[in-house]
Structure 1
């Protein structure tokens, strides 16, 4: 079950390396950017619940009004005049382990919901759920069992919602999910207003379970600007096709950035995100290096003369052999790096923790080249064969180095998880796929 810890310190500024205990550096599993979706809300009178999962931060238009009242960038319900409280259900875009929540009430001065609680469930079709459910008032109330042929009920599609409340048909459909008995990851808790333009309430979650849906309860009514559901994706690796390479770094499967040199515009986690880039803001971009020379010169090899580099290290979702590397510079037209390279290594959990403390000052001998220094072109998708086609080495971590600086949209590291290497036909040279004990597959 979840353990709650409220009033945490503000999240680190973007561009500041952070330890993994800072869950705000993980993926927002509910964001519209990764496929999160509002399934239901009791009321959307002043502003629809879809605003909760916008990928950008909330804003304020001080003097703007709609036909329903003051313009709000968030979810705001009407002042309740009937029994009960308001709530909404979100289908996560990335399903997996939840590490923490950010209930953001920025710009809702005087109108924010005074209390919240958050529940969660695993409602994957065909799954069997045996988790104990809890109720705030009565404690354990029993078990939820989903049969292998469980099908989620059809929830009516939500249209334009401003000024509306849930219909009887929507209420009947959502009742089939029995969301009032889902596990409580955050009990009913009072929200604390902070800076009007940056008012966050952070909640730490200590649970190893996989979740697919969350329910946000507000008591009794009011507004919330954003709900961030931070965590790591989780994949059933036993169901992986041994003949098809899979993206071992994908954030949806549990890949995560564990260190980086600079992130002026966009966290490196973005480049292992879901789907294709939609804009330059959807990738990783570093600041311009201040040590660049007044006049750039080109080496006879065709690369710019070295003048520093930037890097990001990723823990794979599963140890494995990388066979193909894809690097996407879409939308990086005036800020594409000159070149890049990729290296891999094996680290245990303790070694990773040590490297985080040492800011990834890992001896060069530990890194094995997966892609040599390679020229990049702006606004283009690049595909390369990994050197591990010859080395056949299993890795747990990969480091992308860009020279001298710039932006990358997506990084895909396709290959085969180590457990599947055993199932593949032996090639020459023979595969080697031992992994040290103590590797941590997820945060």
Structure 2
């Protein structure tokens, strides 16, 4: 297993962008494996044309995207794919293009590479149409013969910057004279374990609390005030499980919390922002009743959602009376209800990759 690389830095624009794209489909580049292709297949990574965006086009799995788009990671590990270069040679630089994914791109990535002779490459069946699917155990078994997790790093784990919506190039210089035949792209999700209280949400002490606190019959503090925050989901969907983590908040976690959801169009959201979220009470659907919280603990709670048709686009967490929370995760199933929304927001995760090198 290769040593885990340290986080790298972006390079300045270099003239390698004028060289041959060794991974492009037009010179014979081929995707051998990808862990997941739920929203859009990894083959889009090696298209010879520039990425495009079609505002009103959808597939049965969600918004059509001209790139590799995996489902949100909810299991250990990270997503990765293996590409066989169409032209073997020395890689001078790498262009990681996240155009049109300025709102939900992979925040970090790394690149590994290998120089493999034909006899070292197993017989890998054609991938076929992969949209809406994840790699099978059989596919994992075959690709494991390449031992790609131990390949040499050309780019260590590095942050990606969105740039303009239609021009999200991230350029990385490769300092290697080795010839390469295959590359592995690793993308890393943005959610992770909290590192400290600073890596969470903490409100100030409320000054309207009574001088002597008392509990009700359910053990909840009887206090007049609360704090709240509203979030727009990355994708409309049905929430089935709620995770509330108070890690590191040992003496300043909230006494309790509740979570509600609602469904809003883009225009309604804009109206609510202007009105400081003075939303009619009937618009909110309860996802989690008032629930007692413990300090420095991760709480996994079932949502109150009873039917799969109970779709939401926004969520509100309310904490009583004040305090801090490290993480809030709303887990569930995406829904095609997004077709009802005039999508002018930033699209989902897109990842386009170009390898440009001399021969």
TM-score, with structure 2 as normaliser: 0.53
Does residue 53 of structure 1 match 2:46?
Answer: yes
Structure ranking higher on relative contact order (CA contacts 8 Å, 6+ apart): 2
CA contact (8 A) 2:39 2:132 kept: yes
Does residue 230 of structure 1 match 2:199?
Answer: no
> Within 5 A, what are the aligned runs for 1:399-438?
none
**Which of 133, 140, 145 is residue 171 of structure 1 equivalent to?**
140
Cα shift at 1:5: 5.4
**Which of 69, 78, 85 is residue 76 of structure 1 equivalent to?**
69
> Within 5 A, what are the aligned runs for 1:309-328?
none
CA contact (8 A) 1:5 1:204 kept: no
CA contact (8 A) 2:81 2:184 kept: yes
Q: Using the alignment, how far apart are the partners of 2:109 and 2:349 within structure 1?
A: 11
Q: Using the alignment, how far apart are the partners of 1:113 and 1:91 within structure 2?
A: 22
CA contact (8 A) 2:41 2:131 kept: yes
SS in 1 for 2:146: coil
CA contact (8 A) 2:100 2:350 kept: no
CA contact (8 A) 1:38 1:49 kept: yes
**Which of 163, 174, 190 is residue 194 of structure 1 equivalent to?**
163
CA contact (8 A) 2:29 2:46 kept: yes
Does residue 28 of structure 1 match 2:21?
Answer: yes
Q: Using the alignment, how far apart are the partners of 2:137 and 2:83 within structure 1?
A: 19
Unaligned runs of 5+ residues in structure 2 are: 191-347
**Counterpart in 2 of 1:238?**
none
CA contact (8 A) 1:52 1:224 kept: no
SS in 2 for 1:215: strand
Q: Using the alignment, how far apart are the partners of 2:41 and 2:158 within structure 1?
A: 23
CA contact (8 A) 2:106 2:351 kept: no
**Which of 128, 133, 153 is residue 122 of structure 2 equivalent to?**
153
Q: Using the alignment, how far apart are the partners of 1:178 and 1:29 within structure 2?
A: 22
Unaligned runs of 5+ residues in structure 1 are: 10-20, 126-149, 234-443
Structure 1 stretches of at least 4 aligned residues deviating more than 6 Å after TM superposition: none
CA contact (8 A) 1:41 1:88 kept: yes
Q: Using the alignment, how far apart are the partners of 2:164 and 2:349 within structure 1?
A: 16
Cα shift at 1:223: 3.4
SS in 2 for 1:169: helix
Alignment root-mean-square deviation, CA: 1.8
Aligned residues: 197
**Counterpart in 2 of 1:404?**
none
